[in-house]
């Protein structure tokens, strides 16, 4: 594409060829730190710290966080959005796409758990075992209780309940460590894993709610 040069690592060149060099970035950062910065005003004073301490409860309160969220959303809607009525050019979209490649892969992903998703399942975790678990759970998701016959994906196609490992250990295939979930609920369990492990174990130990209508 005319006017666009992409370097070997997929990132665009800057105004000079050292622009994406980590050492160059470090040096540029250091030249603008502290008193070297033209906007330096002496740093955080004791008065600032005391003022911040008295307001910290409010600053991190649910009320203030919600206010910030609403304000931020408002600034991105309609004519307040700087991109209102405009579109990124093909060249800009290409650069934005190239810049994001690999950022959220592996350790760069906030949900990275050491690569456990690449670990193999135990041999006993087969279709027969999965179907036994689904039958035990009356073919219902054990979080939202939707029946398997009612489940549809984005293309309106039916699918089977996912058999989830409660402790996230793919080799622990005892029935007490397996539970039926729909896709929507299964996605939820990828976050805050410790919380979900405790919650689902309590569900197992307290008796299934699989008979709920």
What is the predicted pLDDT for the residue at 212? 45
Q: The tokens of 69 are what?
A: 């969220």
Number of structural domains, the chain? 2
> Are 167 and 199 part of one and the same domain?
yes
> Are 188 and 137 part of one and the same domain?
yes
> Are 148 and 201 part of one and the same domain?
yes
> Are 150 and 195 part of one and the same domain?
yes
Domain encompassing residue 191: 122-205
Q: How far apart are CA 183 and CA 34, in angstroms?
A: 50
> Are 93 and 162 part of one and the same domain?
no
What is the predicted pLDDT for the residue at 41? 81
Q: How far apart are CA 180 and CA 137, in angstroms?
A: 7
> Are 19 and 82 part of one and the same domain?
yes
Neighbours of 5 (CB within 10 A): 8
Residue 54 within any structural domain of the chain: no
Query: DSSP alpha helices (H): ranges in the chain?
Result: 22-30, 46-59, 62-74, 90-100, 127-136, 183-188, 193-205
Task: Name the 3-class secondary structure at 162.
Answer: strand
Average pLDDT, the chain: 81
Is residue 21 pLDDT above 50, yes or no? yes
> Are 135 and 84 part of one and the same domain?
no
Look up the pTM and report it: 0.46
What is the predicted pLDDT for the residue at 134? 94
> Are 16 and 94 part of one and the same domain?
yes
What is the predicted pLDDT for the residue at 130? 94
Residue 163 in contact with residue 130, Cβ under 8 Å? yes
Residue 135 in contact with residue 166, Cβ under 8 Å? no
- For 50-73, b where at least 16 C-beta lie within 10 A, e where not — what string? eeeeeeeeeeeeeeeeeeeeeeee
> Are 94 and 170 part of one and the same domain?
no
Is residue 156 pLDDT above 60, yes or no? yes
> Are 1 and 87 part of one and the same domain?
yes
Residue 55 within any structural domain of the chain: no
Q: The tokens of 207 are what?
A: 């008796």
Residue 38 within any structural domain of the chain: yes
Is residue 141 pLDDT above 90, yes or no? yes
Residue 146 in contact with residue 140, Cβ under 8 Å? yes
Q: How far apart are CA 180 and CA 188, in angstroms?
A: 13
- Using a 10 angstrom Cβ sphere, with 0-12 exposed, 13-18 middle and 19 or more buried, the burial of residue 123 is exposed
């Amino acid at each position: 594409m005319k006017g666009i040069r992409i370097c070997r690592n997929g990132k665009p060149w800057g105004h000079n060829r050292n622009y994406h060099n980590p050492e160059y970035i470090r040096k540029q950062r250091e030249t603008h730190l502290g008193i070297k910065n033209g906007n330096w005003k002496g740093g955080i004073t004791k008065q600032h710290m005391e003022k911040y301490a008295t307001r910290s409860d409010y600053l991190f309160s649910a009320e203030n966080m919600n206010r910030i969220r609403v304000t931020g959303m408002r600034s991105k809607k309609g004519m307040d959005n700087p991109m209102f009525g405009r579109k990124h050019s093909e060249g800009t979209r290409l650069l934005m796409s190239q810049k994001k490649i690999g950022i959220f892969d592996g350790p760069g992903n906030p949900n990275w758990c050491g690569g456990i998703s690449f670990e193999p399942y135990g041999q006993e975790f087969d279709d027969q075992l999965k179907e036994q678990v689904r039958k035990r759970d009356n073919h219902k998701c054990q979080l939202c209780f939707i029946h398997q016959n009612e489940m549809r994906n984005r293309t309106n196609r039916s699918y089977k309940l996912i058999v989830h490992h409660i402790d996230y250990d793919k080799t622990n295939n005892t029935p007490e460590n397996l539970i039926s979930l729909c896709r929507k609920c299964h996605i939820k369990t990828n976050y805050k894993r410790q919380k979900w492990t405790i919650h689902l174990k309590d569900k197992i130990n307290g008796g299934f709610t699989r008979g709920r209508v």
